[in-house]
Amino acid sequence: MVNFFCFSLPLVFLLALSSCHSAPPAASAAAPAAPAPGSGSGATTTAAARAAVARYVQQQPNPALYQLDSARVLELEAQWQVLVPRTDWVGRMPNKAAFTVDKATGTVTGLPVK
């Protein structure tokens, strides 16, 4: 009886720990957005990347939270990373929402930030 208890208790503990891990909330990782109709050429410049993110943000539930005029664009190899300050994240670090824009297609993807 003691042997059974000694082996089952760690197993129950491990099962309980594994159930604590949950998937990240849907709000932290946004689904990729389709490129804007008629863009065709993708986002080859920083201005095009800013415009693509602006279109993507307008589709979000509360686009007024994003300060698009203060966005910062970083060039990565095959994509742009656009960091956009949010008004509801003032005093918080990080205080910017992150997006990637594919240079070839212009597809915008929201990145989770911690």
pLDDT tens series, the chain, 114 aa: 555 445 554 544 444 444 444 433 334 344 445 444 444 568 899 999 999 999 999 999 999 999 999 999 999 999 999 999 999 988 889 999 999 999 999 999 999 988
Query: What is the model's pLDDT at position 113?
Result: 86
Please compute, for residue 11, the number of CA atoms within 13 A of its CA located in the half-sphere on the CB side.
Answer: 5
| 42 backbone φψ class: left, alpha, beta (φ>0; ψ -120 to 50) | left
Spatial CA neighbour of 85 closest among 65, 63, 100: 65
pTM, to two decimals: 0.64
Q: Are strands 79-85 and 72-75 parallel, antiparallel or unpaired?
A: antiparallel
Place of tokens 């509360």: 62
